[in-house]
Amino acid sequence: MLLSRFWYLLLAVAAIMGLSTALLARGMFNRGEVVHADEGLARDRFELELSMKLDARSRIDALAPIAADGTVREAVRGKGKDKVDGQDGSKALKDRLRTMNQQLEELRADILIAVDNQGVILAQEGKKPARAGSGLGKVPLVEQALSGFLGDDVWVYDGAVYRMAARPIVDRGQYVGAIVHGQKLDGNLAQRLSNRLQGATIAFFLRDQVVSSYVPTDVAAAPTQAELAPLLANALSDERLKKGERTEAADLGGKGRAVFSLIAGSASAAEVGYAIARPYPTMPSPWAIFDQATKEDIDALPKGELAGGLVLLFLIAMGIVYLERDRPLAAFQREVDKLAAGQTEELDLASLSKAYRKIGESIHKGILVLLEKGGGKSRQQKANLDQLLGPTPEPLTSSAFSFGGDEAVRSTPQPLAMPAPMPMPAPGPRAPSQNNLPPTGPKAPSQNNLPPARVAPPAPALKAPPPPARPSNGGGQGFAPVQTPAAVHHDAAIAELAEAPSEDEEHYREVFAQYLEVRKQCGESTAELSFEKFVVTLRKNRDQILATRPDTKDVRFTVYVKAGKAALKATPAKG
C-alpha cells in the first residue's frame, strides 16, 4: 500500500498547490486591478484638469462678443446711468446681457455680471438686482479684469460654487469695466466630465459636503456619492491635497478607488475640490479566476497534452490500484476459495501480501480456536516448540528463524566472532533418507499413539486441515483429519532423527554445534539445550518452508548473532 499512500500524498500536495495557486492568483489579480485602477485615476485626473482648463478657456472666449458688444460698452461706459438707444442704460444693459447669454447655449452663464471701472455692479443676469453701490472691485478676478487681464477663477458665491471667467470691457481706448461670467459647479459639468473620462464617477465637494456629482449609469458598480462622502474628511487632511496635488488613491470598500484634489482657483482655500472614482473588478473567490478566461485563453490551452497527462495519471493510479489492491485481493480470494473448497487446509500465507497475510493468520487462528472449541487439537506452534525445546531460549522462538521469504535470504547476518565461518553445504537433492521417513498416515504407530485429545470431534462446519503438502516425501496423504500438521511434523521429525541419520543430520549437528558455540560467546546458557529438541525445531521449520514454497528443494540453517544473542536463520535452496 506504500505506492497508494504515496500517490494520495501526491494528490493532496497537488490539490493544495492548486488551491494555493488559485488563492494567490486571486490576490494577485485583485492587487493588479487596484494598481490598474490607480493608474487610471492618475490619468483621469490629468485629463479632468485639462478639460477644466479648456472649459475655462471656452468661457473666457465666450465673453469676447459680450465685452465687444456696442450696447454693453456704451452702457458700462455710462455706468448704466446714461441713456442707451433711447432707453435707460441699466435696463438696456440688463436686456442685452440676457439676450447675449441665451446665445451662448452650452456656455450660458448662471450669473452674468457687468461692472464699471470701479467694480460696481451695473447689471447682472441670473440673479436679483445687486444692492445699490455694491461691487466686486477688490475681488482678484474682477480687479485683474479691470486692469486689462482676462482670467478664470472659482468662487463660493452666495451658497453655491461657481466657475468664473472675466474679461475687460474696452471702449474708446479705455478700460471701462468688465464682464463676469459664472457657471455653477453642478451635475451637468460632472456628467460632461464623466463622459469625457469614459465612465468615472465625478463629485464636487465643498469641505466635507458633496455639492454635486455624477455616477455613470452604464458602469457596473460605479462608486456613488454616498460612498465618496465618508472619505472627504480624510482627504481634506491630506498634505498633498493642501499643496494642490491629488491625494493617493483611497479604497472604496474594496470595490473602487478614488482620488481627491482641490479645484484650481480661490475656492480651493475654501476647500472646494473634486473626486474621481472608478470601480475595479474583484475576484470574489478563487474559482472566479476561470471567469476571467477568454475564448482565446481556452483555445490556447494545450488540450492534447492535458488530455494525455490526464490519461497518464489515470493509468498510473489504476496501476497502483491493481498492484496494491486488486492483485493481492485476487490472490487472497483464490486462497480463501481453495480453503472453502477443501483444496487446502490452510492459506498459503507466503503467497499473500502483508495485509492479507495478517488476515490469513487471523483466519488460521480462528480455525484453530473453533477446532479446539469443537474438541479438536489446535496447532499451537509455540506450545510445540516449548514442548520440544523445554524453556525455549528467546532467539529460537522469536528471532531464530525468519521465514519471510526472500528477505531472509537477502539479509546479511552480523559477522560472528566465532572462528567457524559456517560454510553451508550446497543444497543438493533430497537425501534418500528423507524418503525413509516413517509413514505419516494414520497407520503409523506413533500416530496411533496420539492422545485422545488430538482427535477432533465431528465438526460439521470446519474440517480439520490436512497435513501440509510436501512434494518431496509425499507427506500428508493418509493423514487422519483429526491430527494437526504441526503434531505430525513434530512426531515425524523425531522419528526421522531416530531412525535415519542422514546428510541433514550432519548438517543439523554442525548447526547445533555452532549454535552452542555462539550462545556461549554471547554469554547465554546452553544447559537446557538438547540436540534432539534442536533438530525437531529445525525440521519443523524446514518442513514449513518446503510446504509453503513448492520450488524449494532443501533448507539450510545458519547461525548468527542478533541483538547480542545467538539466532538461527533458514535459507531456502531452490531446486
Partner 1 sequence: MLGLAVCGAALMSAHALAVDIRGSVKAGDSKPKPTENVRPPYWHEWNGFIEPKKNSGNDFAREVAVVLIGDEAMEDAVSVAMQDGTLSPSTIVMQKGSSLRLRNDDDFTHQLYAQGLSQFDAVETSSGQARQLQVDQEGSFPVFDRLAPYVRGYLHVLPKISKVANPQSDGTFKFENVAPGNYTLKVFRGGSEVSSTTLEVADKRELVVDPISVEVNGK
Comparing CB distances to partner 1, the nearer of 261 and 484 is: 261
Q: Is 263 in the site for partner 1 (CB under 8 A)?
A: yes
Contact 284, 220 (CB under 8 A): no
CB of 182 to partner 1, least distance (A): 11
Q: Residue 54 and residue 56: Cα distance in Å, rounded?
A: 5
DSSP H or E stretch at residue 479: none
Determine the residue type at 570: A
The span from the CA of 574 to the CA of 473, in Å, is: 16
Ramachandran region, residue 254 (left: φ > 0; alpha: ψ -120 to 50; beta: rest): left
Closer to partner 1 by CB, 153 or 346: give it: 153
Task: Find the binding residues for partner 1 in span 270-299 (CB under 8 A).
Answer: 270
Task: Answer yes or no whether residue 269 interacts with partner 1 by CB under 8 A.
Answer: yes
Q: Rounded to 10 degrees, what is the CA torsion of 377, 382, 385, 391?
A: -120
Query: Which residue type occupies 408?
Result: A
Taking CB under 8 A as the rule, does residue 546 contact partner 1?
no
Among 43, 57, 303, 354, binds partner 1 (CB under 8 A): 57
- Does 239 engage in binding with partner 1 (CB under 8 A)? no
Nearer to partner 1 by Cβ, of 222 and 264: the residue is 264
If one asks whether residue 130 binds partner 1 (CB under 8 A), the answer comes out as: yes
Binding flag, residue 148, partner 1 (CB under 8 A): yes
- Among the listed ranges 35-43, 88-96, 128-136, 391-399, the one in contact with partner 1 (CB under 8 A) is 128-136
Pairing mode of beta strands 160-171, 174-184: antiparallel
Least separation in angstroms between residue 267's CB and partner 1 is: 8
**Is 244 near partner 1 (CB under 8 A)?**
yes
Grid coordinates standing for 129?
Answer: 438686482
CB atoms within 10 A of CB 231: 20
Q: Which of 155, 280, 356, 479 binds partner 1 (CB under 8 A)?
A: 155
Q: Does 246 bind partner 1 (CB under 8 A)?
A: no
Q: Which stretch binds partner 1 (CB under 8 A): 85-93, 139-147, 451-459, 521-529?
A: 139-147
Neighbours of 108 (CB within 10 A): 16
Query: x/- contact string, 83-122, with partner 1 (CB under 8 A)?
Result: ------------------------------------x-x-
Binding string, residues 167-186; x marks residues near partner 1 by CB under 8 A:
xx-x--xxx-----------
- Cα→Cα distances 388→236, 356, 523, 536, 568, Å: 101, 30, 23, 7, 16
Interface with partner 1 in residues 499-518 (CB under 8 A): none
Three-class secondary structure assignment of 529-554: CCHHHHHHHHHHHHHHHHHHCCCEEE
Distance CA 523, CA 127 (A): 123
Which residues would be at the binding site for partner 1 (CB under 8 A)?
52-53, 56-57, 60, 119, 121, 130-131, 133-142, 144, 146-159, 165, 167-168, 170, 173-175, 242, 244, 262-270
